[in-house]
Chain A
Amino acid sequence: MAECWGLPELMCNFPQLSSGTLRAMRKGIDGGFRDIVRQWSDVIDAATAPLQLFLNFLEDLFTGAPWPLVMIAVLAVVWAGSRQLKTVIGTAIALVLIGVFGLWSDTMTTLAMVAVATLVAILIGLPLGILMARSNRFQAFLSPVLDVMQTLPSFVYLIPVVVIFGIGKVPGLIAVVIYAVPPMIRLTNLGIRLVDREVIEAADAFGADPRQKLWGVQLPLSLPTIMTGVNQTIMMSLSMVVVASMVGVGGLGKNVLQAITNQYFTVGFLNGFALVAIAIVFDRTSQAFGKRLQKHTEVAHD
């Protein structure tokens, strides 16, 4: 109760809707929402089924395969992306430590989750970014939406996701994707808009149609920027994986969450470090890859 300094009631406590009205409103909205979800549950299940399948497949593959095979595969990918020996060695050390401290399986679960989330974010973000670059109107519409998405606390995403999709891996995945997709969209848009106008004009002058321009000029030339978007998307999925464990995503995030609730200091830090190690590996690999892509597009030396 605020002190009233002798003011009339209206000036003292903010005039709010009566608690009855508020309750009715909440009930109405939540109930309506739930009804809609219940009505559409078949459709929702059907729509998320492929995601579920894909996620399970990758998780089984990562956790089920013999660890030396997984390790070689990961190192090969890091080498193919970065072409840097030090990154490969760093990755090997990180993986060994993760294994030694008993986090191998959880790490693999998280890797599968991040891999699927990144893939889905790219599949959604790339076309939206391209559309955004093509239409100023669409950009004007989508920009504020992305702003809101990026400023909302990540926990907030969980609420509608849980209401619609329930608890589990796939709802977690969806929350991660929603959280991680904005940089992919933004940087695809930016990359395409930054392509040299003269080069675009040359393509036009030779009669390139919009598709030929997109695939032959705009996308290749904006690839370094798009790669930055992929990098940021990966980083954001990794950080969201912890939050998403609240709705049933397993892996390192779940351990961190349990450590917080139970005050397990060591477990919390070990899992945290494993997440950081993965983040660094992803970051270095994708950045080095982006740099290599940029080699030929750099400005001329005279």
Chain B
Amino acid sequence: MTDPLEDARQRSGIEIRHLYKIFGTNPGRFIKRVKEGMTKEELNDRHNHVLGLQDINLSLPPGEISVIMGLSGSGKSTLIRHINGLIEPTAGEVLYEGRDVVAMKGAELREFRRTKTAMVFQKFALLPHRTVLENTLYGLDIRGVPRAEAEPVARAWIERVGLSGFEENYPNQLSGGMQQRVGLARALANDADILLMDEAFSALDPLIRMDMQKVLLELQQELQKTIIFITHDLDEALRLGDSIAILRDGKLEQVGTGQDIVLRPANDVNRGRVIRASRLARPLAEGEAPPEFRVDGYRVLERVAREMAAAGVAQATVLDRKGVATGVIDSEAILNAMVTPAEAP
């Protein structure tokens, strides 16, 4: 057995270099001026082109989960689609195993997608006319793997994501959470090194979402894939990301570990709206009685502070999703977290 860590050191990561994307009828005309410093606003107002991505430089290490986080419209989907060539950049390169994905065309690009990448989509994007089993072996089908060989692989992955017994169902017979499990199985069955996940869990209910995050982390322990995970949720980013990159208006704002992001935020993100109460809950001290007032741990600080203020209490018991008390939160800690960097999780 090789040591997976040793293995990872030899595997290729993904290097994104000076990546620009301008949307519009004639992007090439403006790229030089954008590189020289024309702003997104000027490009939009004066020339009617959208600056989607601006000088992105990012290393995505092999075998790790790299999270790209940002608000809606910040360019996350655009960025991740450059990695498998679904979108062509206006300038820049995406290097993997010494090759530039941007330069790949036609058959070469298809071969790269078939063997090196797999993708999970926000709205699942399953093939509605194929059963769960047929969806799962879609990538293998495309590669020309015979059914007899592909089926056992697909069945194994269906079992791994917990969908045994649903092989013959059609996607529209499944709930959202189950559909995304199919999406995950389809991607994993492809056995590709790179796994691209564009807001893969954003369409799911909070509970199911946590479930899926757990499934992904468990699988990753074993598979050590190079995962690019996109989200707009800080909690999800912190839970999943070995590293987190924050994208804002098409520009990389900050890259670092979860700790870096929480402790030294690069901007005035409204922390009260992204940090959840459970992150600040401290365990009860020996002999301390839990406060009577209770708050849900998955609520954001702003909401919890409002609830506590309305009830006129300074302390509250934090409950997890099952209603079990996980700790205590007090208004001082909330205030601190909302105005200054919070305690590291």
Contact = CB atoms under 8 A, between A and B. Distances in A.
A288 interface: no
A201 B86 contact: yes
Contacts of A212: 142
A207 B143 contact: yes
A198 B128 contact: no
B110 A209 contact: yes
Contacts of B125: 196, 198-199, 201-202
A30 interface: no
A208 B138 CA distance: 10
Contact of B128 (A203, A204, A221, A301): A221
B25 interface: no
B297 interface: no
A interface majority secondary structure: helix
Contact of B172 (A196, A198, A300): A300
Contacts of B118: 205-206
Nearest to B174: A300
Interface size class of B (residues with CB under 8 A): 20 to 34
A298 interface: yes
A205 B84 contact: yes
B153 interface: no
B121 A206 contact: no
B114 interface: yes
Interface string B100-125: 00000001001111110111010101
B172 A296 contact: yes
A196 B127 CA distance: 10
Interface in A212-244: 212, 216-217, 220-221
B86 A204 contact: yes
Interface in A174-210: 196, 198-199, 201-209
A156 interface: no
B129 A220 contact: yes
A300 B174 CA distance: 8
B190 interface: yes
Contact of A199 (B128, B139, B172, B179): B128
B171 interface: yes
Contacts of A209: 107, 110
Given A198-B121, A201-B125, A207-B142, A300 B110 contact: no
Given A217-B127, A302-B176, A201 B142 contact: no
A206 B142 contact: yes
A18 to B, nearest CB: 52
B2 interface: no
Given A298-B172, A299-B172, A302-B175, A205 B129 contact: no
A203 B135 CA distance: 11
B114 A296 contact: no
B86 A206 contact: no
Interface of A: 196, 198-199, 201-209, 212, 216-217, 220-221, 296-302
Given A201-B121, A205-B113, A208-B142, 4 more contacts: A203-B127, A205-B117, A212-B142, A300-B173
